[in-house]
Amino acid sequence: MRDYVTFILNNEVQTLSGFAGDTTLLAWLRRTRRLTGSKEGCGEGDCGACTVVLARPDADGRIVWRPVNACILFMGMLEGASVTTIEALSDGAGGLHPCQQVMVDYHASQCGFCTPGFVMSLFAAWCNGDGLEATAIDDTLAGNLCRCTGYRPIVDAGLSLVGSDLPAFELARRQTEAELMAEIAHDETVRLSDEGAARKVAFVAPASAKDFTEFYAHNPDATIVSGATDVGLWVTKQQRHLPVMLWTGRVAGFKETVEIDDHLRIGPAVTHQQAMSDLAARWLDFGEVMRRFGSLQVRSSGTICGNIANGSPIGDLAPMLIALSTEVELTAGIKMRRLPLEAFFRDYGVQDRQTGEFVSAILLPLAPAKHFRCYKISKRFDQDISAVMGAFKITVADNVIISARLAFGGMAATPKRATHAEVALQGAPFTESSFRAAAAHVADDFTPISDMRASAAYRLQVARNLVVKYGLDLTGAGSVRLAGRSGLSLTGVRGM
């Protein structure tokens, strides 16, 4: 057990102890270290002005550079990682890094406040050699807001980096980074606290599943933190005092996604970004929604299980997982149980999670899902929370719909299935008109609310229409996808 955190900042090893566990990386950088290049634009992980790059080896030992929002990242989460900030990009002799130089050359900064964050997002993609292509750059930059440029010059700057040479100073930097990460690696549990403070906040990062479950069994009031993309806001926006935070991110085995007994088992610390390729490979639409889920920064920190555990009625994942008949696994000490995901969500903010239990996995059946489709409706395509999220799956035999699972988010206090509409589909012929008929029953299933995202009337109408859209998609009558990365995607629609 250690009472200090060890990480690398701009290729220098940092060993810190005796600070509040809810200290964010951005606060530490800006106030304690006076590294003010990383900016605070929103304090909730939505604008990307605080983007820094966090490097860690992945399961294969290959180093992955992830852009993260420093404003909602707790210091303890840096254990073993290498943090690179905007201050460290230059070549050491005052020359700009290629990711900086292109931003200058393309006139890609105006007020300059968002610029360090953009540069760091480009830098992460450039290091990984992935994400700067024309088909990917919008996703790479979706988590960075710019109010001045209209983005075109930033995108052009990013595109120009594709295939650029790796300068010698960058090779040296990476080598040092890898060596230092190997040097500081260890397998001890880390426990940080600010003993003596009036308002103590401890941060506990167990190294093994045994340590984790034991600690939680003895401290059931601890707040479990995975990516802190939600818990971070409890601290920065709600000033909540979380006396003990328990982090999943360091637990051996918690980051695993495995195929087991016809299920895909996603562990408690698997991030959205990590899971995305596994999910997209099996369910194309799942991947498309994930691409628009949060931003790269949020997906790089936030976890699938954390998202489920928080039980948001407007989360995008739950409807998709429910449509796929996913089960949630809960663990308390040595006890473990499973239940269908839709049964986990009991009421607004209330989940079927007993004292001492944590979401230890979700299990997705690997049965074929040919007719699985997802539709995310939001004011803005990227990095927005859904007004309505629909995820649907049917099975068809001999042109008859055998079973139907129509799950919605944003329509009730919890993610919920449209059971009346499902009944209407079951046994109906596999034709467009069956879906139109079923759509009418959505009104029997939901009484949505009006809020800042949408009115009740729109929610109900668009939920109905999504069932119609689903029918059109499946029966080949016409498919319209405006949010596809290639822009407008129309199939079966005449004239395009």
**How many chain residues bind other proteins (CB under 8 A)?**
100
Which residue in 181, 391, 468, 474 binds other proteins (CB under 8 A)? 468
Angle at 180 between CA 179 and CA 186, to 5 degrees: 105
Q: C-beta of 312: minimal distance to other proteins in Å?
A: 12
Which residue in 337, 381, 403, 475 binds other proteins (CB under 8 A)? 381
In 416-442, which positions are buried (b, 16+ CB within 10 angstroms) versus exposed (e)? bbbebbbebbbebebebebbebbbebb
- Bridge partner residues of 329 (DSSP): 338, 361
* Choices 58-66, 94-102, 209-217, 395-403 (CB under 8 A): range interacting with other proteins: 94-102
Which residue in 106, 283, 293, 392 binds other proteins (CB under 8 A)? 106
Structural contact between residues 252 and 267, judged by C-beta atoms closer than 8 angstroms: no
186 binds other proteins (CB under 8 A): no
Which residue's CB is nearer to other proteins, number 78 or number 387?
387
395 binds other proteins (CB under 8 A): no
Which residue in 26, 39, 288, 369 binds other proteins (CB under 8 A)? 39
482 binds other proteins (CB under 8 A): yes
Q: Which residue has the tokens 């006396």?
A: 243
The mark string for 111-150 relative to other proteins (x by CB under 8 A, - otherwise) is xxxxxx--x-----------------xx--xx-xxxxxxx
472 binds other proteins (CB under 8 A): yes
Which residue's CB is nearer to other proteins, number 280 or number 366?
280
Nearest alpha carbon to residue 318 among 381, 379, 384, 408: 408
Alpha-carbon span 391 to 82, nearest angstrom = 38
The mark string for 46-75 relative to other proteins (x by CB under 8 A, - otherwise) is xx-x--------------------------
Alpha-carbon span 466 to 445, nearest angstrom = 14
The mark string for 298-337 relative to other proteins (x by CB under 8 A, - otherwise) is ----------------------------------------
Q: Which two tokens stand for residue 103?
A: 């931003």
101 binds other proteins (CB under 8 A): yes
Which residue's CB is nearer to other proteins, number 87 or number 256?
87
The mark string for 448-467 relative to other proteins (x by CB under 8 A, - otherwise) is ---xxxxx-xx--xx-xxx-
Which residue's CB is nearer to other proteins, number 40 or number 329?
40
Whole-Å CA distances, 43 to 38, 69, 238 = 12, 9, 11
Which residue in 6, 10, 28, 43 binds other proteins (CB under 8 A)? 43
Residues 219-238 that bind other proteins (CB under 8 A): 237
- Bridge partner residues of 64 (DSSP): 56
496 binds other proteins (CB under 8 A): yes
* Choices 209-217, 397-405, 420-428, 481-489 (CB under 8 A): range interacting with other proteins: 481-489
Which residue's CB is nearer to other proteins, number 235 or number 341?
235
Residues 360-379 that bind other proteins (CB under 8 A): 375, 377-379
